[in-house]
């Protein structure tokens, strides 16, 4: 079983990212669970969302305390919340900066300027979908094809296409 | 299989049951149900009338009106909303109106809190409504369909609460199989009641005033109907299993690795976490109560027969006992040779982790008398009631 | 004579104005009607298990929810293809004006095709004459008793017909059992209107008001003749007074026949007379105005 | 044991007629058939629906008349008198 | 001693406690309380503000406002009225507002019925309110006064229901001793709370939103306070006995001829009839529960220790069990060597006569396992639950 | 600058019009005030245990009962001899107009000396933008979503200020966060009036209405300039418009800036424009009339 | 212990009679209970009320099924309800008729025209108080003095006086 | 264990200030002190109460500013610009 935590702000699509990751896993005939941290914070406030992926039916309903991977949609959050909580093995951050500049204790730190990709590909600064591509590249937890299929199913038509492109772009960028 | 949010999945399940009137009011965390149903109606996918009432009191009252008129009536609510309905809930069961409520369980004020526990529906346990608690979204989807069939069975004719844990289920996306609409229609007969309609050609009076004797007799009728519904809960569950290939224990309770000296007893989504925990140890089993009302006394007794130790985990408090409501219900039917512990857990959304369940099993023993404890935070120590030595 | 739809053998007090109103309401609405009633005198006296006074379908649930039960019934009947069945929500002044007011307000706002009828006997009669929002100023009730420090109820009655109107209701009317033809005409007219409609009918109660059972009609008549109770209609936002006494009798003539007003002194009576005069003037003004009362927000 | 119906519904419309409220009466209306002009007022105003207008004039159904006296009071020609019910 | 109607006597008792705000709504059979209090205020005998609300929801809300502002707040209600308050009742205890309600017990709809049983308050047993049940009008008068003192005790700070059976007590005239007003004032200290006032000089926020951890912790606080109040219920009872010379068992339970192998267990006015019945036989005693919330587990256990047979008579049903709510609470604390029977009695005002009680004692035996029975009319046979062999 | 009584650190969304209203409401009411608030955005964002944004005493209980809790507070403070403390009951449109409406109506009828303020953001925002009685016609909300069979909400908004007026309330006013001086003036004026008073303040919500957080004031302003929201006062039954735009902008200019109206077609917009025009005319008429709106029954 | 049942119609004061009988017993230092049969019938409908009188505290709360005495305030009721239910030893009826004319099965039947006494003494046809005088005369369950004291305490001033006179008159009339 | 107060009352007025909502911001207002005419409009209209007008002009308390942009939009002289918050 793999457990992933997303950090974002209300409105940035962390929950949607967690959901789409689950959808992608499902495309691969895996079981999944995706859920937000159930807060009442308003738009702009830090939020968390989670995904579990497993080859088997997932029975447990506890929250995720020890994520395998962490995805940070907005690097400004890193001063505000402990994004490394629970010792993830990999952390993927949306930022212009390099992993070194971030100076984290997590073993595998990967960075990507997903907002730029989003602006380029989708025309809006929603970094959540490209960050899924980045996660796929960094960890292989799902295949980028599954992500693209998932996003196209959720958003049929243009929007889905564009988001799929952003996922692909981010995937490739980090794979390099 | 589709990955869907719990609440959405349930809404689609409701849609397949084709309710005539949905009289609904938003409240966290059941809000997505009225929202999704509104969207289905707005998109012409469901031909139901939505009454967007101004309060839950009117939500359930609208259901009463529709159900009394012989239509299939539905609502969804949580917490404060369910509490606000209290008076009408008693009336609806007394009038034998088979209304279905999806209760998305949430804690009660004060202080106000929007997260899950089961105080809301458990504190409605006297009122003659059937109550089924679901462990997963799939079960919620399936039980919603079963609920209509159980409620409307001519030997039941009782309202029912299909309970799912707020957020933990309602806001979690996971794969579910949504039954085919036509198959659901085959499974669920049309509702055509003989005791509740409002037909000018055939006038009847519903909800009369009763003197003591008929009142007491009608209460006994109600009680007998509630108790008798146990068989129908089971039967409908079995029929569903037959047709759709999914089952949940025997429909009333579900046993999991329940061949150990210690049994955990609980309801709802926490049972998933318990099962997962038990997968890694070999000294305890689980008896999950699925059907809480009627209370399947014989089934529970049998499942717990000969246990050394029973640990009840419950998400509610019956104030003045220092424990949950289920505790007395379980304890009163077990022999004294079985030690029964009660642990109040998960109040107001406090998470219960596998570590906590392990800790409980490890720290409690059948040597001592049964104890009452509280788990107030994930990873926390089990707390005693104040004053207990 | 056709059989009443609200039948004999009901257990209302002798001389009950509200029971009289129900006899005629059911008659005017006709057989193709479904009623729901809030808890109160009329429900208790008409539905003692296992008998019922009702010749039309009736449902009672609680004291608070007649209006929302009616909404449920109406929408269910519509779904059943029985759009032409009249649905009538009935409540006393307590059930309509006080405890059932949220349900009424919500139902009016949503616009269900339901007729709401408040039978106003001026207090909670079923429980023994407690004050309601509709109890008139000065009336002694068991919860606003006249006493050393008190002259009965100290608020004016709640203006529910106008409040209903402000919900955007196309047909609002007041009526009285002292003019049953007017009442029945209004019920019929209301039932012709699409959407929500509201009728508030004044029903003297010998027990609660303190007069002889034979005077029920007479007391109602005095209310109308004095202007203490004004018969009017508001159709599509247009206000008209249904009946204008050639000369209004002094309100004292109305008050003095009732025990509930017995304690009032001359000042009190004058206050009430002033109020009645003032209202009458304003209502007459309103009648002449070119103003659509439905279009104020 | 008391007989009941599912949910307490009553399928017997107007069965209140079994309840003879005439027993409540202490005064009873006496119609002077000579005076009665059959205007129907009394029948309209009786809260019990206990008066029918027949060929011979107003006829009170003593099974239900509670003796309120409205009919007597409102009869335009004073054709009704209330009298003490005697046993 | 004055011969007074129960409700009137209680109203005079309330008057002596000088509530600041009485926020009230009429309902049979508690109506005489708001009426009598209104008359006392109208006559200048009581300097309280009456809020003549438009519903019970507002009645209790007005009390919440007044109590939160640091004043002594009072209301009275029954049945549907209490049910309508449900949501606010939970809030009031959560906010630790020591409101006093005289509950005049009555059955719940549907069908509608105005007579006595105890379903209304018993179905509120989880919500953190203390509940005391009275046997006589004198006890109601005395307990009303004790209620204010218990509720406002700084170790309690909880709302309380003083419960008396509708009609059977409320509408019965019998002699009562009305305590002297000055003595009551001596007995009952002024209420000057530290946790609930609304002072612009010292602003506080009441009724906040709480996340899981503080929510759970506050619920535990509440539970501990409810449990802890047992001692204060007892202490106040004893202090009252000391000052006014009247006592009711030990304040929590009362034993009557309870040295037999068989004990009857019940609450409220029926205990008078039971005592009278037992005066004519020698094979059974009575344990009356006076304080139902908190539940005096130890005291009850001790009083029933070693009994062969316990017969619980209760005026409520917890649907889905085929018995009353008290049954499980009693059964769960007694050893299996004690046979426990449950008899649902007095629903919707059905009378329980001495003949019925004799009949119960005669027909039940400790030979068989505990049975659940219903008495549906005076002189009637004990009915089984449908389906029971 | 004096410290706000509704302090920074509250958790409302960026650009929240309602939070702005509360900042100024508390300022205008001043320190000697006690508030009670219904469940809703403003309560949830301001009272997260163990911190509070409130610098004045506040109590929250449920969603339905702000008005009756306020009644209890006021009467208790009176009994304590603190008659001069302002008591203010605050609720969103859901809490005031829908579920709390019975409590409001009852409290108004009884005449407690309380100021009721409805902060109207046009829907149930706290639970995710569901329709309320105050939601404008045509708005898409999560319970009145635009869809194949639906053009958003199909009823006009409930006219609560006039409904409140018809309860015999001596001071009723509408306001907007687009004119804070007007709002504060009205709050102060209201607090000078004895008895019940009602203010309904329009508070744009970027989340629920769908506009950029920077446009909150602008959206409010467009509502006022188009006449979709009219600022007025009714003092002792006398109606007056507080602000008359020299020329009303087309209502389309207001609607078009918001996602909730995005689906409306030209016909819909015209219907709304007609409605707004018609209301404006009637309100202007009303202003000129010699009619005591408090004396209609 | 003595148990008394009153029959009357809503509005005729049966409950008040039961109460005053209780008050009178209390004047004699006895314990009492007085209660109506708890109906919802409206004015005019038959009602019942009860009084228990005992030298000791009365524990029982059951209704009264076997009254020692029955008082009928309105003889027209006798065709409508079974006034002899429970086999009372004495029944006192307000009527012009003689006991023989009533043709009852109760052993001791006494009649008195209490309405006339009420009209004479009180000026209103409220037979409930004179019927208490008659009950006292017929059964001795309380003394007429106690009844008069009780009624004067309950209704101080003129009304009490008049009612006391009615009680005395009825007492004397039946004692003859 | 979590600390609690009786009934959950909060006796610490305005303690929300402990909650630095400045962390929510993605854009931040930048006041051009030169342009600012100290009219106070921005301070009045800030939902956070995060602007004080000082001698030198409008001053934003970045601890609480959520970056809504109202101040920038409403400033009569356009003295405020919203800029992306950078890390
Ligand atoms: C929630 C609730 N509160 C109180 C009551 C008690 N109750 C029943 S009817 C009634 C008064 C009815 O008054 P109204 O509506 O004016 O009708 P009326 O009896 O005067 O005809 C009251 C207070 C109740 N049944 N339910
Ligand atoms: C009885 C009850 N029903 C529903 C809710 C859920 N609820 C809380 S706030 C809210 C909406 C509030 O809307 P409004 O009053 O307009 O305030 P806003 O959130 O828009 O500021 C709802 C539906 C509740 N708390 N209690
Ligand atoms: S109390 Fe009044 S309203 Fe009620 S039944 Fe009697 S007369 Fe009619
Ligand atoms: S009112 Fe008089 S005249 Fe008319 S029908 Fe009746 S009895 Fe005859
Ligand atoms: S007396 Fe009254 S009840 Fe009898 S017939 Fe005349 S009007 Fe009807
Ligand atoms: S949702 Fe709207 S009303 Fe609620 S806090 Fe956010 S902006 Fe304010
Ligand atoms: S609005 Fe602009 S000019 Fe006015 S104080 Fe603010 S920054 Fe300065
Ligand atoms: S951007 Fe918004 S929150 Fe920040 S100072 Fe300006 S108005 Fe205030
Ligand atoms: Mg009434
Ligand atoms: Mg809102």
Mean pLDDT is lowest, of A28-42, A111-125, B188-202, for A28-42
Measured in Å, residue C217 CA sits from the centre of ligand 5 at: 12
Read off the tokens for B122: 């458990």
- Write the CATH number for D35: 3.30.70.20
What does the pLDDT read at residue F98? 98
- Classify residue H63: in a domain, yes or no: yes
Mean of the pLDDT values across residues B111-126? Answer: 98
Cα–Cα distances (Å) from E107 to C11, E92, E350, in that order, read 22, 23, 11
Of the partner residues A10, A40, A43, the one whose CB lies closest to the CB of residue F44: A40
Does residue E34 sit in the same domain as residue E149? yes
Read off the tokens for B180: 């085919």
Task: Tell me which chain H residue has its CA closest to the CA of residue A95.
Answer: H87
Choose one of B216, B243, B270: the last residue of a domain. Answer: B243
Q: Which chain B residues touch D16 with a CB distance below 8 Å?
A: none
Task: Tell me which chain B residue has its CA closest to the CA of residue H9.
Answer: B111
Which residue lies with its CA nearest to atom 1 of ligand 3? C125
Contact between G33 and C3 under an 8 Å Cβ cutoff? The reply is: no
At residue G42, does pLDDT exceed 80?
no
What does the pLDDT read at residue G98? 94
Does residue E151 sit in the same domain as residue E24? yes
Does residue E303 sit in the same domain as residue E181? no
Does residue E132 sit in the same domain as residue E223? yes
Q: Say yes or no: CB of residue B34 within 6 Å of ligand 2.
A: no
At residue C1, does pLDDT exceed 50?
no
Read off the tokens for B94: 């007394």
pLDDT tens digits for range B109-118: 999 999 999 9
Q: How far is F64 from chain A (nearest CA, A)?
A: 20
Residue B62: which domain range? 2-243
Give the mean pLDDT of chain D.
Answer: 95
Task: Tell me which chain G residue has its CA closest to the CA of residue E346.
Answer: G62
**Residue pairs spanning B and C at CB distance below 8 A:** 163
Segments of chain H scoring below 70 in pLDDT: 1, 87
Does residue B185 sit in the same domain as residue B322? no
Tell if the CB–CB gap between E21 and F105 is shorter than 8 Å: no
Judge whether H10 is closer than 8 Å to chain B, CB to CB: no
Classify burial at C285, counting beta carbons within 10 Å of its beta carbon; exposed 0-12, middle 13-18, buried 19 or more: middle
- Write the CATH number for B132: 3.40.50.970
Does residue B125 sit in the same domain as residue B34? yes
Judge whether F11 is closer than 8 Å to chain A, CB to CB: yes
Task: Tell me which chain B residue has its CA closest to the CA of residue C11.
Answer: B209
Phi, psi for C27 (deg, rounded to 5): -60, -50
pLDDT tens digits for range C99-140: 999 999 999 999 999 999 999 999 999 999 999 999 999 999
Q: Which of G45, G46, G94, G125 to mutate to test the interface with D (most CBs of D within 10 A)?
A: G45
Q: How far is C1 from chain F (nearest CA, A)?
A: 38
pLDDT tens digits for range C12-68: 999 999 999 999 999 999 999 999 999 999 999 999 999 999 999 999 999 999 999
Q: How far is H45 from chain B (nearest CA, A)?
A: 30
Q: Which atom of ligand 5 is nearest to the CA of C213?
A: 2
Judge whether E35 is closer than 8 Å to chain G, CB to CB: no
- Write the CATH number for E294: 3.40.50.920
What total number of domains does chain D contain? 1
Tell if the CB–CB gap between C11 and G41 is shorter than 8 Å: yes
Can you tell me the distance from the alpha carbon of F174 to that of G94, in angstroms, rounded to the nearest whole number?
69
Read off the tokens for E114: 């105005």
Q: Which residues on chain E place their C-beta less than 8 Å from a C-beta of chain F?
A: 20-21, 23, 48-49, 51-55, 57-58, 61-71, 73, 87-88, 91-92, 95, 197-200, 202-211, 214
Phi, psi for E73 (deg, rounded to 5): -120, 140
Q: Classify strands F197-202 and F232-235 as parallel, antiparallel or unpaired.
A: unpaired
Cα–Cα distances (Å) from F269 to F137, F151, F255, G23, in that order, read 10, 11, 8, 77
Classify burial at C128, counting beta carbons within 10 Å of its beta carbon; exposed 0-12, middle 13-18, buried 19 or more: middle
Q: Which chain D residues touch E110 with a CB distance below 8 Å?
A: 7-8
Does residue B334 sit in the same domain as residue B363? yes
Tell if the CB–CB gap between H26 and A78 is shorter than 8 Å: no
Choose one of E216, E243, E270: the last residue of a domain. Answer: E243
What does the pLDDT read at residue A44? 80
Q: How far is F34 from chain A (nearest CA, A)?
A: 26
Mean of the pLDDT values across residues G110-135? Answer: 95
Can you tell me the distance from the alpha carbon of H8 to that of E219, in angstroms, rounded to the nearest whole number?
10
Contact between D8 and B93 under an 8 Å Cβ cutoff? The reply is: no
Cis? peptide before F61, omega within 30° of 0:
no
- What is the DSSP code (8-state) at residue A47? E
What total number of domains does chain E contain? 2
Tell if the CB–CB gap between G41 and C44 is shorter than 8 Å: no
Give A 95-134 residues with CB within 8 A of chain H.
95, 97
Domain spanning G2-175: CATH 1.10.10.60:
no
Other C-beta atoms within 10 Å of E242: how many? 10
Which residues 6+ apart lie within 8 Å of H55 measured at CB? none
Phi, psi for C275 (deg, rounded to 5): -60, -45
Nearest of B59, B49, B50, B48 to residue B25 by alpha carbon: B59
Q: Which chain D residues touch C5 with a CB distance below 8 Å?
A: 14
Of the partner residues C10, C53, C214, the one whose CB lies closest to the CB of residue D73: C214
pLDDT tens digits for range F13-56: 999 999 999 999 999 999 999 999 999 999 999 999 999 999 99
Task: Tell me which chain H residue has its CA closest to the CA of residue E223.
Answer: H7
Tell if the CB–CB gap between D10 and B208 is shorter than 8 Å: yes
3-state secondary structure A153-169: HHCCCHHHHHHHHHHHH
- What is the DSSP code (8-state) at residue C208? I
Choose one of E214, E243, E272: the last residue of a domain. Answer: E243
Measured in Å, residue F63 CA sits from the centre of ligand 10 at: 12
3-state secondary structure chain A: CEEEEEEEECCCCHHHHHHHHHHHHHHCCCEEEEEECCCCCCCCCEEEEEEEEECCCCCCCCCCCCCCEEEECCHHHHHCCCCCCCCCCEEEEECCCCHHHHCCCCCEEEEECHHHHHHHHCCCCCCHHHHHHHHHHHHCCCCHHHHHHHHHHHCCCHHHHHHHHHHHHHHHHHHC
- Classify residue H66: in a domain, yes or no: yes
CA atoms in the 13 A half-sphere facing the CB of F75: 32
Q: Which atom of ligand 6 is nearest to the CA of F11?
A: 5
Task: Tell me which chain D residue has its CA closest to the CA of residue B194.
Answer: D6
Q: Probe ligand 7: pick from H39, H52, H54, H55, max atoms within 8 Å of CB?
A: H39
What does the pLDDT read at residue B169? 98
- Classify residue D29: in a domain, yes or no: yes
Residue H58: which domain range? 19-84
- Classify residue B20: in a domain, yes or no: yes
Residues with CB under 5 A from ligand 10 (ion): F 92-93, 121, 125
pLDDT tens digits for range B325-334: 999 999 999 9
Q: Which chain E residues touch F75 with a CB distance below 8 Å?
A: 21, 49, 51, 62, 65-66
What does the pLDDT read at residue F1? 47
Does residue B274 sit in the same domain as residue B129? no
- Classify residue H24: in a domain, yes or no: yes
Read off the tokens for B55: 């309060």
Contact between F295 and C279 under an 8 Å Cβ cutoff? The reply is: yes
Q: How far is B376 from chain H (nearest CA, A)?
A: 8
H or E segment and range at residue C268: helix C266-288
Bigger pLDDT: B47 or C1?
Answer: B47
Q: Which of H9, H12, H13 to mutate to test the interface with E (most CBs of E within 10 A)?
A: H9
Q: How confident is the model at residue B339 (pLDDT cuts 50, 70, 90)?
A: very high
Q: Classify strands B309-314 and B284-289 as parallel, antiparallel or unpaired.
A: unpaired
Q: Is the dihedral of CA C161, C164, C166, C169 positive or negative?
A: negative
Can you tell me the distance from the alpha carbon of F45 to that of F19, in angstroms, rounded to the nearest whole number?
9
Phi, psi for C91 (deg, rounded to 5): -155, 155
What does the pLDDT read at residue H87? 53
Which residue lies with its CA nearest to atom 4 of ligand 6? F41
What do you get for the CA distance between the two ends of chain B, in Å?
Answer: 52
Q: Say yes or no: CB of residue C143 within 6 Å of ligand 1.
A: no
Q: Which chain F residues touch A43 with a CB distance below 8 Å?
A: 13-14, 207
Within chain E, strands assigned E span: 2-5, 21-24, 49-52, 73-77, 100-105, 130-133, 160-165, 173-176, 205-206, 253-256, 262-266, 284-289, 291-293, 309-314, 339-344, 372-375, 382-384
The domain covering F17-296 belongs, at the CATH homologous superfamily level, to Thiamin diphosphate (ThDP)-binding fold, Pyr/PP domains (3.40.50.970)
Q: Say yes or no: CB of residue C122 within 6 Å of ligand 3.
A: no
Can you tell me the distance from the alpha carbon of G77 to that of G94, in angstroms, rounded to the nearest whole number?
11
- Classify residue D25: in a domain, yes or no: yes
Of the partner residues G23, G38, G62, the one whose CB lies closest to the CB of residue E167: G38
Which residue lies with its CA nearest to atom 11 of ligand 2? F124
Tell if the CB–CB gap between D26 and G44 is shorter than 8 Å: yes
Q: Which chain H residues touch F11 with a CB distance below 8 Å?
A: 16, 19, 21
Q: How far is F31 from chain C (nearest CA, A)?
A: 31
Can you tell me the distance from the alpha carbon of E95 to that of B109, in angstroms, rounded to the nearest whole number?
9
- Classify residue H2: in a domain, yes or no: no
Other C-beta atoms within 10 Å of H36: how many? 19
- Alpha helices (runs of H) in B268-321, residue ranges in sequence order: 270-278, 297-303
Can you tell me the distance from the alpha carbon of E3 to that of E175, in angstroms, rounded to the nearest whole number?
4
Give the mean pLDDT of chain B.
Answer: 97
One digit per residue, pLDDT tens: chain E, 389 residues? Answer: 899 999 999 999 999 999 999 999 999 999 999 999 999 999 999 999 999 999 999 999 999 999 999 999 999 999 999 999 999 999 999 999 999 999 999 999 999 999 999 999 999 999 999 999 999 999 999 999 999 999 999 999 999 999 999 999 999 999 999 999 999 999 999 999 999 999 999 999 999 999 999 999 999 999 999 999 999 999 999 999 999 999 999 999 999 999 999 999 999 999 999 999 999 999 999 999 999 999 999 999 999 999 999 999 999 999 999 999 999 999 999 998 999 999 999 999 999 999 999 999 999 987 767 899 999 999 999 999 999 87
Does residue B192 sit in the same domain as residue B313? no
Tell if the CB–CB gap between E279 and G33 is shorter than 8 Å: no
Q: How confident is the model at residue A39 (pLDDT cuts 50, 70, 90)?
A: confident
Q: Which chain B residues touch H1 with a CB distance below 8 Å?
A: 376-377, 380, 383
At residue F297, does pLDDT exceed 70?
no
- Classify residue B248: in a domain, yes or no: no
Does residue E134 sit in the same domain as residue E34? yes
Does residue E300 sit in the same domain as residue E328? yes
Q: Which atom of ligand 5 is nearest to the CA of C15?
A: 2
Q: Is C9 helix (H, G, I), strand (E, B) or coil?
A: coil
Judge whether D13 is closer than 8 Å to chain E, CB to CB: no
Q: Probe ligand 8: pick from F14, F20, F24, F204, max atoms within 8 Å of CB?
A: F14
Domains of chain G, by residue range, sit at 2-175
């Amino acid at each position: 079983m793999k457990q992933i935590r997303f950090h974002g702000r209300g409105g940035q699509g962390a929950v949607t990212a967690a959901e789409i990751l689950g959808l992608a896993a499902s495309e691969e005939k895996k079981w999944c669970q995706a859920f937000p941290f159930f807060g009442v914070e308003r738009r702009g406030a830090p939020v968390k969302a989670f995904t579990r992926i497993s080859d088997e039916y997932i029975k447990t309903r506890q929250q995720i305390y020890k994520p395998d991977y962490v995805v940070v949609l907005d690097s400004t959050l890193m001063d505000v919340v402990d994004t490394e909580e629970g010792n993830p093995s990999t952390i993927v951050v949306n930022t212009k900066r390099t992993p070194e500049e971030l100076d984290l204790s997590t073993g595998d730190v990967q960075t990507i300027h997903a907002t730029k990709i989003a602006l380029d590909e989708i025309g809006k600064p929603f970094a959540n979908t490209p960050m899924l591509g980045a996660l796929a590249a960094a960890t292989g937890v799902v295949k980028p094809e599954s992500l693209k299929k998932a996003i196209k199913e959720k958003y049929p038509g243009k929007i889905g296409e564009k988001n799929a492109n952003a996922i692909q772009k981010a995937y490739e960028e980090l794979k390099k | 299989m589709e990955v869907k949010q719990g609440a959405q999945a349930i809404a689609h399940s409701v849609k397949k049951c084709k309710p005539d009137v949905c009289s609904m009011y938003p409240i966290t965390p059941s809000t997505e149900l009225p929202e999704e149903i509104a969207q289905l109606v707005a998109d012409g996918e469901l031909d139901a009338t939505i009454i967007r009432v101004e309060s839950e009191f009117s939500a359930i009252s609208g259901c009463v009106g529709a159900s009394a008129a012989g239509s299939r009536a539905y609502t969804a609510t949580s917490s404060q909303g369910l509490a606000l309905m209290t008076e009408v809930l008693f009336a609806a069961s007394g009038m034998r109106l088979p209304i279905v409520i999806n209760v998305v369980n949430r804690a009660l004020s004060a202080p106000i809190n929007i997260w899950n526990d089961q105080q809301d529906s458990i504190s409605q346990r006297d009122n003659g409504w059937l109550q089924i608690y679901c462990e997963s979204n799939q079960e919620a989807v399936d039980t919603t369909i079963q609920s209509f069939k159980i409620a409307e069975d001519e030997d039941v004719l009782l309202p029912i609460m299909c309970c799912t844990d707020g957020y933990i289920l309602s806001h979690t996306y996971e794969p579910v199989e949504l039954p085919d609409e036509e198959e659901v229609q085959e499974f669920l007969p049309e509702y055509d009641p003989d005791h509740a309609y409002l037909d000018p050609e055939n006038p009847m009076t519903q909800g009369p005033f009763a003197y003591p004797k008929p009142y007491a007799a009608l209460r006994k009728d109600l009680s007998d109907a509630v108790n008798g519904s146990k068989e129908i809960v089971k039967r409908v569950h079995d029929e569903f299993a037959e047709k759709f290939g999914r089952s949940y224990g025997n429909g009333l309770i579900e046993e999991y690795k329940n061949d150990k000296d210690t049994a955990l007893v609980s309801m709802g989504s926490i049972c998933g976490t318990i099962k997962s925990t038990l997968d890694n140890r070999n000294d305890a089993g689980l008896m999950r109560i699925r059907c809480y009302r009627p209370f399947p006394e014989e089934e529970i007794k049998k499942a717990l027969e000969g246990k050394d130790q029973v640990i009840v985990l419950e998400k509610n408090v019956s104030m003045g006992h220092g424990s949950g409501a289920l505790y007395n219900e379980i304890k009163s039917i077990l022999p004294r040779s079985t030690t029964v512990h009660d642990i109040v857990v998960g109040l107001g959304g406090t998470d219960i982790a596998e570590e906590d369940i392990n800790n409980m099993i490890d720290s409690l023993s059948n040597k001592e008398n049964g104890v009452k404890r509280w788990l107030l935070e994930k990873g926390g120590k089990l707390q005693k009631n104040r004053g207990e030595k | 004579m056709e059989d009443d739809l609200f039948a004999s053998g009901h257990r209302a007090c002798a001389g009950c104005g509200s029971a009289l109103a129900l006899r005629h309401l059911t008659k005017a609405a006709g057989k193709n009607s479904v009623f729901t009633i809030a808890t109160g005198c009329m429900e208790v006296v008409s539905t003692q298990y296992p008998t019922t006074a009702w010749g039309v379908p009736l449902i009672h649930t609680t004291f608070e929810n007649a209006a929302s039960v009616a909404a449920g019934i109406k929408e269910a009947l519509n779904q059943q293809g029985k759009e032409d069945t009249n649905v009538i929500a009935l409540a006393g002044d307590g059930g309509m004006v006080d405890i059932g007011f949220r349900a009424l307000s919500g139902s009016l706002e949503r616009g269900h095709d339901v007729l709401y009828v408040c039978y106003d006997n001026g207090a909670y009669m079923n429980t023994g004459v407690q004050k309601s929002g509709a109890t008139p100023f000065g009336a002694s009730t068991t919860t606003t008793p006249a006493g050393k420090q008190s002259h009965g109820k100290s608020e004016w009655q709640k203006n529910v017909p106008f409040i209903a109107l402000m919900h955007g209701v196309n047909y609002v009317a007041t009526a009285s059992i002292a003019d049953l033809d007017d009442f029945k005409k209004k019920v019929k007219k209301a039932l012709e209107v699409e959407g929500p409609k509201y009728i508030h009918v004044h029903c003297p109660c010998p027990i609660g008001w303190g007069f002889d059972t034979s005077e029920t009609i007479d007391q109602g008549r005095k209310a109308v003749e004095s202007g203490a109770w004004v018969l009017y209609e508001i159709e599509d936002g247009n206000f008209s007074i249904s009946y204008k006494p050639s000369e209004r009798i002094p309100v004292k003539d109305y008050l003095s026949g009732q025990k509930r007003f017995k304690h009032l002194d001359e000042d009190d009576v004058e206050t009430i007379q002033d109020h009645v005069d003032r209202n009458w003037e304003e209502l007459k003004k309103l009648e002449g105005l070119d103003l659509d009362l439905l279009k104020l927000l | 044991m008391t007989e009941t119906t599912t949910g307490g519904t009553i399928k017997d419309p107007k069965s209140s007629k079994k309840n003879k409220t005439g027993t409540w009466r202490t005064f009873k209306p006496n119609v002077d058939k000579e005076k009665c002009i059959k205007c129907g007022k009394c029948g309209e105003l009786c809260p019990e629906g206990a008066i029918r207008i027949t060929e011979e004039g107003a006829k009170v159904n003593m099974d239900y008349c509670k003796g309120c006296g409205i009919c007597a009071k409102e009869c335009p020609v004073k054709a009704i008198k209330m009298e003490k019910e005697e046993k």
